[in-house]
Structure 1
Amino acid sequence: MLDVLLLLFVCFTAGSGETFRERAERIMNGTPVIDGHNDLPWQLLSQFNNKLSNVDLNELNTTHTNIPKLKAGHVGGQFWAAYVPCDTQNKDAVKRTLEQIDIIWRMCAKYPDVFTCAKTSADIRKAFEENKVASLIGVEGGHSMDSSLATLRMLYELGVRYMTLTHSCNTPWVDNWMVDTDQEAALSNGISPFGEKVIAEMNRLGMIVDLAHVSVDTMKDALAMSKAPVIFSHSSAYDICPHKRNVPNDVLRIVKEKHGLVMVNFYNKYVSCDSKASLTQVADHFDYIKKIAGYEAVGFGGDYDGVPNVPEGLEDVSKYPDLVAELLRRNWTEEEVQAALALNLLRVFEAVEKVKKDLANTIVDDEPISYEQIKGSCRTSYGYKGVKDGGKSLHYLPTALISSLLYFLFMLK
């Protein structure tokens, strides 16, 4: 009975004649949601091996996302994740990432009346006008660039407009969130000197720095280093749910100072710190981030199709209007709702584009990461002086080992 009364309260405003849900629909007709993170491309790989010809996104029912659900949810912009797992690091991460970028471009080509691949903030606004889903690419995990600034530049050329600095593993130049637990040791204690070069190059390119999945030290380092605002594409408030993937209060205050954005994640573990969660608990995160960092710092980052469970009431991408209705019930103004839906992300993106313009005459950094940081059996060493493949050089071998090798060669004769 209590649930029924709560639903009725959510649905109606005080005597206006317009329900909260109707208000949400009206607002979203003019300002659709830009979501920071959706893993549908990963589902296309894991379920269909990227054979898009075998999939109809109008009929697909084994995912949180399909075309009818996107339309019902008033999704006007989506950062699709080009995600590959951490076990690809130092192996085929770049190849696998390119395949995921390819599937996003092919989605746009297969459904041109629904999706338009976007590279700029202006492209997003044009997609809104055309009632299409502006499809942007976010690379989820710095291991996808394989510690190469040249690869980072090529990812940008292919349409990537944000990169999450880590996933759930360290790279040779930046630490992930697990170092704040007992599961992994810090490698860089935040961001290394080469990692600082990565941030600088992302600023120069006009690629958004994404801090979901990183350690707290990494968050603070990146916020201090970046000349452009940063985002958390799918993270929530630590004070509401003390999971290390979430954003603590001191970082939220820096986000406010730096005009950044936290796009609230819907994964139950990050919402309630439990296996179950509700729409109202997600709204609590919106309220809290608004309280600490201001409404200009809040966005939507559902993480649909990338997590095993989502809150009751937010079962798929069609449910965004229900969450907006809940925010309206909590006395969010229409201006605040529009900001969270899309305008905050557009502001950040435009600021990143301005920094790119300001840095247009900056010299490209072509100093590679040191071989000592990346050497391994799966790498060649071309260009690095004094080392051979695998990172070994006779010059650096111990004298005793060199003597043994020479003796062995002599005996073969």
Structure 2
Amino acid sequence: MKIVDMHCDALYKLQDSKGKLTFQDSPELDVNFERLIEGDVLLQGFAIFLDPEVPVEQKWKRASEQRTIFKQHVLQRNGMMKALKKWSDLLELAEGNIASVLTLEGVEPIGQDLEKLGQLLDEGVLSVGLTWNYPNLAADGIEEPRGAGLTVFGKQIVELLNERKVFTDVSHLSIKSFWDVMELAEFPIASHSSAKAICPHMRNLSDDQIKAMIERDAMIHVIFYPLFTKENGSAKMEDVIRHIDHICELGGIKNIGFGSDFDGIPSHIKGLEHAGKHQAFIAELRKHFSEEEVAGFAHQNFLNHLPK
């Protein structure tokens, strides 16, 4: 069954390796070419993410390096990896190809320059998270005690994303920033967040937030990270399914997708350690849901929610 995974950090890991890893088959990468094929992945989201400790004056350069890695290493797979420039490209993907899409996890690289964001969108960034946990010029993240919402600049960013039919990602936002985005964004998405009622980590979404996403008919991509999946210790695939069950109970069966966070997490769900394991998770889901429902979680829900 084809898989859509809206979030991984393979570009960050490739950059950090300084050439020691290859996207083709390095086992250190949760997401590599061979594992995407093994997992029958239709679409993989590749985040541009920078360590918060990168100096401000180097952030644009480092983000540009990750875009180069995407072009020169991820896409160079005998034409099988196809970069999307707009969401409608996904509907025209040839059989056997894997769609690759750039996302932005935190707008720090653009500074205060909306033209730089426009450049990223022109190059194919199709989902943007305003921040990663901490505050920046656009918004507060979930780990900022102040808990403020979007700035004027952040609201300008959301307006631009609306114009360009690009997702605004609510994962990592402070609670106030989340509600500001829900008020302004035409295309909200949670690229890698699960249910706080099942695992009370601050990065997960409360029932009120999940209900708001469902009311807006927005996608919620559950994450494959034990820390956000189950309190106290390791987690199994059944524990991820508890989050899916809960979102379904809230009315979101048509709004659920996958956002693994592979290559951005230090531990893994048992049996779901890398992109090649997606089909094992599908087999587990089939024990709990109908074939149509499983297909929805795997890819169809997302295809039904592409910005238009």
TM score, norm. by length of structure 1 = 0.71
1:274 aligns with 2:232: yes
The alpha-carbon deviation at position 293 of structure 1 amounts to: 3.7
State how far apart, in whole Å, the 1-side matches of 2:74 and 2:277 are: 23
Say yes or no: does 1:299 pair with 2:257: yes
How far 1:244 sits from its partner (Å)? 0.5
Q: Name the aligned partner's letter for residue 173 of structure 1.
A: A
1:127-276 equivalence runs, <5 A: 127=93, 129-179=94-144, 184-186=145-147, 189-226=148-185, 228-276=186-234
Matched, 1:37 2:2: no
Q: Structure 1 residues 108, 116: closer, same or farther in 2, change over 3 A?
A: farther
Secondary structure at the counterpart of residue 263 of structure 1: strand
CA contact (8 A) 2:21 2:28 kept: no
**C-alpha displacement of 1:310:** 0.7
- Whole-angstrom distance in 2 between the partners of 1:151 and 1:328: 44
Alignment-derived partner of residue 337 in structure 1: 294
Query: Per the alignment, do residues 192 and 268 of structure 1 end up closer, same or farther by CA in structure 2, a change over 3 Å counting?
Result: same
Q: Which has the higher helix share?
A: 1
| Alpha-carbon distance, 1:309 to partner | 0.3
C-alpha separation between the residues in 2 aligned to 1:120 and 1:298? 22
Aligned residues: 308
**8 Å contact 2:130–2:154 — kept in the other structure?**
no
Distance in 1 between the 2:287 and 2:86 partners? 33
Q: Deviations over 1:142-193 (max 9, x none)?
A: 21221321111111011111111111211123110113xxxx433xx21122
1:225 deviates by 0.9
Give structure 2 stretches of 5+ with no counterpart: none
Offset at 1:233?
0.7
Larger radius of gyration: 1
More off after superposition, 134-143 vs 144-153: 144-153
Please tell me the residue identity of whatever aligns with 2:146: A
The match for 2:244 is 286
Secondary structure of 2:44's partner? strand
- The aligned runs of 1:263-412 (5 Å cut-off) are 263-330=221-288, 332-349=289-306, 352=307, 354=308
Q: Structure 1: which 5+ runs fail to align?
A: 1-27, 355-413
1:177 touches 1:245 (CA, 8 Å); kept in 2?
A: yes
Q: Which moved more, 1:83-92 or 1:95-104?
A: 83-92
Confirm or deny: 8 A CA contact 2:104 2:125 kept in the other structure. yes
**Displacement after TM superposition at 1:81 (Å):** 0.9
Give the counterpart letter for 2:295 in structure 1: Q
CA contact (8 A) 2:84 2:99 kept: yes
Identical aligned pairs, as a percentage? Answer: 27
Cα distance in 1 between the residues matched to 2:49 and 2:274: 20
The answer (yes or no) to whether the contact 1:164–1:211 under 8 Å persists in 2 is yes
SS in 2 for 1:155: helix
The answer as to whether partners of 1:229 and 1:259 remain within 8 angstroms in 2 is no
Specify the alignment match of 1:106 in structure 2: 72
Letter paired with 1:140? E
1:261 and 1:297 in contact (8 A); partners too:
yes
Q: How far apart are 1:316 and its partner, in Å?
A: 1.0
Q: Which residue of 1 aligns with 2:56?
A: 90
